Structure 1
Amino acid sequence: MDATTNIFTHKETNNWFKAYIALNVTKEGLTNFVVSELKNVHSAIGISCGQCSIANLMPCPTQGLCKKRKPYTCTFHTSQLPKSCQTCDKVKQNIKSLHRFNWPSWRNSKAERWVTDPWEIGKCYLPPDGYSEVSSVQESDFNGVISILLNCKHFQTCLSPACLSPPPPDKQCPLEKVISRYTNKIAKTHVYLSNTLM
């Protein structure tokens, strides 16, 4: 119990909290901008039918989605078989063409909501895991917001060229550096807090 009562007197612990607050304030500052620009992305991508699910739109197998298990059944396409929908296929292709690395995070998004919710399209530009149940930019974390800025090519028209120079995936790209440092800080924070609280 003594270790937990003294945690706030450690300088390093206070620095971690300051870093967390700074990341949170930065994310909050970017939120309205990202929400506004995702509406523009939503308009540019087109209107889906509102009836198709991701499982309907993706062929089996799709790397990153489908997992084959014995006896050769796909755990992603268990209840819905892929089908063709020209309207949603066009939206899907437009989402992919705006993705800097041509690899949207389909698993995060609910295609049924593409017709009305720009955030569901924005979720395609997030990291592949951990965001499927995040229902808004406000609920997302710093990493999610920066990932959208980095992964969605629309934002290169809204940001200073210096933010994306040299172009991603160059490790010297400022947005790449931000994500890398954020990821490293989070990992170190978990180690530090687990060691401090033990």
Structure 2
Amino acid sequence: MADYKDIIRKPETLGWFKAAMAMKITRDCLLDIVKQATHELYDKIRKVIKIKDGIQEDVVCSQCNTPKVLPCDANNKCCNYGTCEFHTIHKQQSCPKANLCNAICREIVANHRFRNRSKKQSFKGPTWVNTDACKWCNDPWQIAKCYLSKEGYTDVNLAEDIDFNGIVYVIYNCEFFQAYLKDNLDRSRNVCTKARDVGREVRHAPSNSMTSQESDRAIDTLVALLQNLKHVNHQFAAKTAVDMLTQKNKTES
């Protein structure tokens, strides 16, 4: 056990722990914002559907599952050429509530940042295997799950259970969140892609160790993300989180 005590005391271990705690603070701040914005996204989708399809906002459905409302297409990332396991049991059909769920499906695609990638590129549209369409009308988090990575999030059915990278994926992949940030998320390098890289660096750090320079750089990136939030009602929470991150840097440097 003495070896482990020595490892814990190493500056590189403390540097990694400091960056990991900074991710936790940032994640907790962004979680509340994402939960609120996810409800606003659903409201926006329903308003768009009312205009486009004439479906009133009080019409809801809980009968459709995802394969029923999703066209069978290999570009969907869950369908395959030939025999499609995703549509083996449930075939595509129209939602009994005036095609409501089909329309929601369409708008989920419309809000995905990578919906228009060329066929020569790897399609990175909504991750349908993560979501359950029968819950779209009463649990907007199921819509947010369409903007997560394919790996590791299928069973994350509560927003509170999402990790740091998952939150960043939702913000980055769903264009609706552009309204919450000053930075242009269409650029290849932006506050979200930089924060995503920090998450990967911390998660995959060899032996859970980071130099002070690496941890300081990670924290600076997270601070930049929080300071990029532009809605007034989010800035107080972001400032509180930034103060915690900067204070942690001062006291543990």
Alpha carbons of structure 1 residues 48 and 192: separation in structure 2 relative to 1, 3 Å: farther
TM-score, normalised by the number of residues in structure 2: 0.66
Contact 1:107 1:128 in 2 (8 A): yes
TM-score, normalised by the number of residues in structure 1: 0.83
Q: Distance in 2 between matches of 1:118 and 1:169?
A: 27
1:144 matched to 2:166? The reply is yes
Q: Distance in 2 between matches of 1:51 and 1:62?
A: 25
Q: Distance in 2 between matches of 1:75 and 1:7?
A: 48
1:94-113 correspondence to structure 2 within 5 Å: 94-102=107-115, 103-113=125-135
Q: Distance in 2 between matches of 1:78 and 1:16?
A: 46
1:78 matched to 2:88? The reply is yes
1:30-179 correspondence to structure 2 within 5 Å: 30-46=30-46, 49-63=61-75, 64-67=77-80, 72-85=82-95, 86-102=99-115, 103-159=125-181, 161=182, 163-164=183-184, 167-171=185-189, 173-179=190-196
Contact 1:169 1:176 in 2 (8 A): no
Paired letter, 1:143 = N
Paired letter, 2:186 = P
Q: Distance in 1 between matches of 2:208 and 2:199?
A: 16
Q: What CA deviation, in whole Å up to 9, does each residue of 1:156-181 have, x standing for no partner?
A: 1122x2x32xx42512x121111123
Residue in 1 that maps onto 2:121: none
Residue 15 of structure 1 and its aligned partner are, at CA, apart by: 1.1
Q: What CA deviation, in whole Å up to 9, does each residue of 1:66-102 have, x standing for no partner?
A: 246xxx5322223212222321111011111111112
Aligned residue for 2:203, secondary structure, equals helix
Alpha carbons of structure 1 residues 110 and 94: separation in structure 2 relative to 1, 3 Å: same
Structure 1's unaligned 5+ residue stretches are none
Paired letter, 2:164 = F
Residue in 2 that maps onto 1:183: 200
Q: Distance in 1 between matches of 2:208 and 2:195?
A: 22
Contact 2:144 2:170 in 1 (8 A): yes
